[in-house]
């Protein structure tokens, strides 16, 4: 799914209107989609408080209020006293609700207490087009609304957020439990500083102009089911282990064998044809007993001191590796000999950052840093928006793929494209989850998935397995090994 800017979305609306639907009817369609979703999810609600601005987002709010009333709900509408003029479409819908005696229209300043816990707040004050700071009155009402422990729904985007950029840390923003957005994700939904205000995102399709969307240029995308269905390659019946490549997982050190064990197991579960583990001798018994399907290659006693090069193999290096001097030397020697792309994580990245040897990374390799590892590699940034832009620059400069791990992990390609992942959950915020991802990515590349597609599919698969694990076991209780055990369920889901 493409992510368009606020200006592009506005142009898409205009292109849709040019094709024959009036702007007020497009607003009606958007409002109906919202009301259908609200009725399906909050049918037992007794009252809706709808806060409307004077632009088209307010117009959506007026139409939603009218439709909710027509479905039998008690509705009150609040508007800004300071705003005398409404957009033409907002004014049309405001006039419609003024003709309904059962809907009270009040000013923001009239709002005080919510006494009924079956009340729902709807924010339709500012939508996608916000380009300035909020007035004192709107700030005041949002601060009040955020204090109430009732469900809160934002229409299009929470008031106070911009679609495409960061906000000041002191900005007042409506804290939604759900955001009902039209046709597209906004970039601000996908970054931690801004996405925390959005709650659960629901994308509602209102039949915007497909020709415009197809031609619209962007470097930002959401990894959705449609894209994954195009990438996923079902297992062929007439095949053998050689068909699915050779994965070599390199890592582990004294006390950290579990990390490389999880990487190895996840590579196997993802479908690797032949799987090897290079680890120190202290891990032999653990790996051979826990992952008997993988072949063990000894390197050192407690710490890896050599990385053997095997032809036609894909390497995943880093989980539990450690940063001992002999390991550092082994890794740098390996990089001086290897020509093919590799997957790098954890201590492999830390060694590269501490020795200033990023130039040794083979072209089209995959690195998988979390924010702190990224900072060690490339320097400090002020926020996640800046970090992503720096990642785009470095991916192009080094001609590598950067899998920037976060709540919404982003895949950054050498041509500066960004693919945000929307599977996964906070239950995966545990040591070991990244080791699982390393195994998944190594396995997919060894199975001859195009590297860009392997990264996109890999982060989605990783997150989807985490979602299945959380559903069964809870976010608190799930373990990275549970995530591994759910990989098979994800493949069954894809092939069903």
**What CATH number did the domain enclosing 57 receive?**
3.40.50.10260
CATH for 287: 3.40.1190.20
The answer to whether residue 174 is domain-embedded is yes
Residues 132 and 272 in one domain: no
Same domain, 257 and 134: no
Q: Domain range holding 287?
A: 229-495
1 domain residue, yes or no: no
**Co-location of 104 and 196 in the same domain:** yes
Q: Verify that 345 and 472 share a domain, yes or no.
A: yes
Helix 433-446 with 451-473: angle, nearest 10 deg:
140
Q: Are 210 and 270 within one domain?
A: no
Residue ranges, the chain, pLDDT below 50: none
Quick one: tokens of 230? Answer: 């195009």
Strands (E) located in 328-470: 343-344, 366-367, 401-404, 410-412, 418-421
Residue with tokens 């832009």: 389
Specify if 224 maps to a domain.
Answer: no
Q: Are residues 401 and 470 in the same domain?
A: yes
pLDDT for res 130: 67
CA 126 to chain centre: 24
The verdict on 266 and 334 lying in the same domain is yes
Asked if the structure places residue 369 within a domain, the reply is yes
Residues 164 and 300 both lie in one domain: no
- Assess whether 77 and 141 both reside in one domain: yes
Q: Residue 177: what pLDDT?
A: 98
Are 361 and 452 contained in the same domain?
yes
Q: Which residues does residue 252 pair with via DSSP β-bridges, in sequence order?
A: none
pLDDT digits (tens, 9 = 90+) for 272-325: 999 999 999 999 999 999 999 999 999 999 999 999 999 999 999 999 999 999
**Residue 253 belongs to some domain of the structure:** yes
pLDDT of residue 133: 75
Same-domain check for residues 210 and 265:
no
Domain boundary among 218, 237, 270: 218
Last residue of a domain, one of 195, 218, 241: 218
The predicted structure's pLDDT at residue 83: 64
pLDDT at 129: 65
Name residue 152's beta-bridge partners.
121
pLDDT given at position 273 = 97
Phi, psi (deg, nearest 5) at residue 89: -70, -35
Report how many domains make up the chain. Answer: 2
Q: Which letter, b or e, does each residue of 410-428 get, where b requires 16 or more Cβ atoms within 10 Å of its Cβ?
A: bbbbbeeebbbbbbbeebb
Q: How confident is the model over 359-401, as pLDDT tens digits? A: 999 999 999 999 999 999 999 999 999 999 999 999 999 999 9
In this structure, the answer to whether residues 51 and 160 fall within a common structural domain is yes
Helix, strand, or coil here: 60? helix
* pLDDT, position 131: 65
Domain end, chosen from 218, 249, 277, is at: 218
Q: What pLDDT is attached to residue 443? A: 98
């Amino acid at each position: 799914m493409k992510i368009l800017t606020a200006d592009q979305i506005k142009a898409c609306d205009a292109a849709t209107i040019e094709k024959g639907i009036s702007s007020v009817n497009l607003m009606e369609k958007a409002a109906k989609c919202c009301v259908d979703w609200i009725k399906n999810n909050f049918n037992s609600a007794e009252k809706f408080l709808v806060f409307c601005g004077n632009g088209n987002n307010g117009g959506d709010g007026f139409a939603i209020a009218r439709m909710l009333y027509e479905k039998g709900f008690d509705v009150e509408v609040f508007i800004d006293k300071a705003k005398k003029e409404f957009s033409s479409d907002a004014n049309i819908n405001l006039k419609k609700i003024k003709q309904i005696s059962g809907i009270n229209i009040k000013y923001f300043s009239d709002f005080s207490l919510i006494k009924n816990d079956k009340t729902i707040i709807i924010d339709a004050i500012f939508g996608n087009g916000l380009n300035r700071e909020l007035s004192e009155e709107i700030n005041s009402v949002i601060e009040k609304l955020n204090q109430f422990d009732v469900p809160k729904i934002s229409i299009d985007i929470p008031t106070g957020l911009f679609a495409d950029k960061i906000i000041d840390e002191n900005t007042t923003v409506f804290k939604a439990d759900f955001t009902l957005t039209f046709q597209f994700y906004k970039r601000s939904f996908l970054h931690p500083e801004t996405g925390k205000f959005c709650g659960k995102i629901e994308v509602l399709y209102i039949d915007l102009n497909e020709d415009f969307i197809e031609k619209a240029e962007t470097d930002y995308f959401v990894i959705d089911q449609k894209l994954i269905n195009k990438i996923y390659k079902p297992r062929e019946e007439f095949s053998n282990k050689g068909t699915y490549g050779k994965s070599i997982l390199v890592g582990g050190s004294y006390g950290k064998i579990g990390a490389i064990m999880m990487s190895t197991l996840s590579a196997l579960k993802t479908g690797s044809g032949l799987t090897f583990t290079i680890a120190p001798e202290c891990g032999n018994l653990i790996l051979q007993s826990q992952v008997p399907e993988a072949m063990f290659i000894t390197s050192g006693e407690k710490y890896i001191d050599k990385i053997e090069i095997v032809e036609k193999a894909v390497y995943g290096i880093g989980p539990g590796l450690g940063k001992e001097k002999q390991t550092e030397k082994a890794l740098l020697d390996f990089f001086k000999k290897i020509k093919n792309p590799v997957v790098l994580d954890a201590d492999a990245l830390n060694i590269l950052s501490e020795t200033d040897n990023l130039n040794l990374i083979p072209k089209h390799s995959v690195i998988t840093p979390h924010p702190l590892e990224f900072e060690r590699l490339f320097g400090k940034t002020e926020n996640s928006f800046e970090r992503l832009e720096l990642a785009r620059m470095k991916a192009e400069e080094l001609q590598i793929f950067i899998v920037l791990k976060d709540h919404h992990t982003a895949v950054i390609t050498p041509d500066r494209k960004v693919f945000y992942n929307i599977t996964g959950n906070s239950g995966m915020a545990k040591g070991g989850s990244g080791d699982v991802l390393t195994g998944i990515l190594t396995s997919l590349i060894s199975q001859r998935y195009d590297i860009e597609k392997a990264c996109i599919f890999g982060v989605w698969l990783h997150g989807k397995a985490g979602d299945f694990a959380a559903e069964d076991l809870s976010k608190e209780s799930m373990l990275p090994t549970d995530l591994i055990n759910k990989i098979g369920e994800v493949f069954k889901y894809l092939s069903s």
